């Protein structure tokens, strides 16, 4: 009955239905508090922990990343791509996700991109390709293992992370390996962009047209390399975010390790769960990262 009701709502007024389903902030009354808390926690991380900030991976002002080094040389790299409907937020808002993974022995990079409407989603995807290619090419300089890169993303960032998993890296650069991305963690993502085209509250800035959907929807793309990945979506999230998770898990089922249940969580607090070493999502992420970590035993001595 629920699916039938949803189908009727889509047919009757797709713009209204998809705007309601995808406007996550409207469904979270305390979202301003959550964003404020993230900013404060992230500022504390940058004050108290070693990090390299605003490293340029390209020429545009938005093409910058932050890098939090692990305590050992030659450790794996976790790349986190933030959300915000491709049009808001900043990598600096998410520094709070890094400490738990750094303590567990992983380098962490947080990438930025030029926000819509200044950049289209297609250009934002190209920027993330540049970011990961830049990281791979600069692995020796920043002392991490280029053969153990895992990408994670939240919301629009999960879309971008999945596009990195679908990328044909050797077409992008003949010095890049086909399996540049060794794993993925996809949280509350959008993998079929057709509904977004009808959600006017966000498409007013994105400008998605019908012809843009197929080239930008990873749920309908083959993967050149079946890297393992996790999916997660909050229990309190809308039917559409739940559907999007199932869609990518089913389409890429050869690499899908598990869906992590998140009882009591919404579209924003999933990021808190990801950052929290005591939470099942963080632990599942570490378990996936450990499979990459164990693929090659580092022989570097600990840093001073």
Q: What is the pLDDT of residues 188-244, one digit of tens each?
A: 999 999 999 999 999 999 999 999 999 999 999 999 988 999 999 999 999 999 999
First CA to last CA distance, the chain: 62
Query: Over the Cα atoms of the chain, what is R_g?
Result: 18
Q: Which two tokens stand for residue 179?
A: 């399996």
Helix (H, G, I), strand (E, B) or coil at 255: coil
Helix (H, G, I), strand (E, B) or coil at 154: strand
Indicate yes or no: pTM above 0.75.
Answer: yes
Contacts of residue 180, Cβ cutoff 8 Å, sequence gap at least 6 = 132, 133, 136, 149, 167, 169
Q: Which two tokens stand for residue 273?
A: 């769960």
- Distance, in Å, from the CA atom of 93 to the CA atom of 36, rounded to the nearest integer, reads 9
Q: Say what the pLDDT of residue 216 is.
A: 98
What's the residue count for the chain?
A: 304
Q: What are phi and psi of 8, to 5 degrees?
A: -65, -40
- Distance, in Å, from the CA atom of 272 to the CA atom of 288, rounded to the nearest integer, reads 18
- Architecture of the domain delimited by 2-293: 3-Layer(aba) Sandwich (3.40)
Strand partners, 108: 68, 78
Q: What is the pLDDT of residues 117-143, one digit of tens each?
A: 999 999 999 999 999 999 999 999 999
CB 34 within 8 A of CB 260: no
CB 150 within 8 A of CB 179: no
Q: What is the pLDDT of residues 163-189, one digit of tens each?
A: 999 999 999 999 999 999 999 999 999
Q: Say what the pLDDT of residue 293 is.
A: 75
Q: Where does residue 13 fall: left (phi above 0), alpha (psi -120 to 50 degrees), or beta otherwise?
A: beta
Q: Say what the pLDDT of residue 97 is.
A: 98
Query: Given pLDDT bands bounded at 50, 70 and 90, which one contains residue 13?
Result: confident
- Distance, in Å, from the CA atom of 18 to the CA atom of 197, rounded to the nearest integer, reads 9
Q: Say what the pLDDT of residue 292 is.
A: 85
Query: Given pLDDT bands bounded at 50, 70 and 90, which one contains residue 304?
Result: very low
Listed by start position, the domains of the chain span 2-293
More confident residue, 12 or 44: 44
Q: What are phi and psi of 200, to 5 degrees?
A: -65, -30
Please state the separation of Cα 233 from the chain's center in Å.
13
Q: What is the pLDDT of residues 32-84, one digit of tens each?
A: 999 999 999 999 999 999 999 999 999 999 999 999 999 999 999 999 999 99
Residue (of 209, 189, 188) closest to 198 by Cα position: 209
CB 63 within 8 A of CB 112: yes
| Strands of the 256-260 sheet, one edge to the other | 52-56, 64-68, 107-111, 75-81, 144-154, 183-187, 229-232, 256-260
What mean pLDDT, rounded, does the chain reach? 93
Residue (of 145, 148, 25, 172) closest to 84 by Cα position: 25
């Amino acid at each position: 009955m629920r699916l039938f009701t949803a189908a009727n709502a889509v047919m009757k007024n797709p713009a209204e239905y998809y705007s309601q389903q995808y406007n996550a902030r409207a469904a979270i009354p305390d979202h301003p508090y959550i964003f404020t808390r993230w900013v404060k926690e992230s500022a504390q991380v940058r004050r108290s922990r070693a990090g390299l900030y605003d490293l340029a991976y390209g020429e545009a002002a938005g093409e910058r990343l932050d890098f939090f080094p692990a305590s050992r040389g030659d450790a794996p790299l976790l790349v986190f791509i933030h959300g915000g409907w491709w049009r808001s937020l900043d990598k600096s808002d998410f520094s709070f996700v890094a400490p738990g993974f750094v303590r567990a022995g992983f380098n962490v990079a947080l990438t930025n991109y030029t926000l819509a409407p200044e950049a289209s989603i297609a250009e934002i995807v190209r920027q993330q390709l540049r970011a990961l290619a830049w990281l791979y090419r600069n692995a020796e300089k920043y002392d991490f293992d280029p053969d153990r890169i895992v990408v994670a993303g939240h919301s629009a960032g999960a879309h971008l992370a999945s596009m990195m998993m679908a990328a044909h890296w050797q077409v992008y650069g003949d010095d890049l390996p086909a399996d540049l991305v060794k794993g993925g963690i996809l949280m509350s993502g959008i993998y079929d962009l057709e509904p977004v085209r009808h959600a006017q509250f966000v498409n007013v800035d994105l400008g998605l047209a019908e012809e843009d959907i197929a080239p930008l929807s990873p749920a309908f793309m083959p993967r050149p390399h079946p890297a393992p990945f996790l999916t997660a979506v909050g229990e309190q999230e809308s039917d559409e975010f739940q559907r999007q998770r199932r869609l990518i898990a089913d389409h890429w089922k050869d690499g899908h390790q598990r869906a992590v249940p998140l009882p009591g969580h919404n579209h924003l607090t999933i990021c808190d769960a990801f950052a929290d070493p005591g939470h099942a999502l963080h632990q599942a992420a570490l378990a996936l990262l450990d499979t990459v970590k164990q693929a090659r035993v580092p022989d570097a001595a600990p840093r001073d």
